[in-house]
Homo-oligomer: A and B are copies of this chain.
Amino acid sequence: MEILDIADVARRSGIPASTLRFYEELGLIASIGRRGLRRIYAPDVLLQLGLIALGRSAGFSLEEIKGMFGPDGQPALSRAQWQAKAEELDAHIRQLVKLRDVIHHVADCPAPRHLECEQFQQLISAAIASRRQDTGPISVTASSSRAGMRKPRNRSK
């Protein structure tokens, strides 16, 4: 069974060693042991890191990701919670698709002032609207991150 040291993991994942230690400290990943002082890793960790990067790019915080997968990389949510996450992500994707439409419009529309262009206004309104009713039962774990005209008094802690 192949094992990796921190430099291998860094090289193969593209993530700096300092970040790997940081992630371990947070409990996001774990080394399978030490050789002397030095961490050694199972190749699995590369998959986990991929998952973390993916989650980050979807706007999940490290805390959220930690809640979804334990340091062993095992899913740690109920089926319903996973379904809710998928739903959340879907909503996010729909929003990004709308933004992409806006961008395409901007790239093509010759209007002098976009804010006065009917179509532009409608695209934005639609995009905003799709975010508007996020006062729903979704957001299982109070996903504190992921921007977007959040409600005032967002209270944390």
Chain A positions within 8 Å of B, measured between CB atoms, are: 10, 13-16, 44, 47-51, 53-59, 73-75, 79, 82-83, 85-86, 89-90, 92-93, 95-100, 102-104, 106-108, 113-115, 121, 124-125, 127-128, 131, 146-152
List, in ascending order, chain B residues with CB within 8 A of A82's CB. Answer: 103-104, 106-107
Given contacts A58-B96, A74-B113, 15 further A-B contacts (CB under 8 A): A14-B152, A15-B152, A47-B115, A48-B115, A49-B149, A53-B148, A54-B127, A54-B148, A56-B147, A57-B146, A86-B100, A90-B100, A93-B93, A93-B97, A96-B96
Copies of this chain, tallied across the complex: 2
Taking a contact as CB atoms closer than 8 A, the residue among B95, B102, B103 that contacts A57 in the complex is B95
Are A75 and B114 touching (Cβ within 8 A)?
Answer: yes
Are B96 and A10 touching (Cβ within 8 A)?
Answer: no
Are B15 and A149 touching (Cβ within 8 A)?
Answer: yes
List, in ascending order, chain B residues with CB within 8 A of A83's CB. Answer: 107
Are B113 and A89 touching (Cβ within 8 A)?
Answer: no
The 9 closest A-B pairs by CB, nearest first: A56-B147, A82-B107, A50-B128, A53-B149, A57-B148, A14-B149, A86-B103, A53-B148, A54-B99
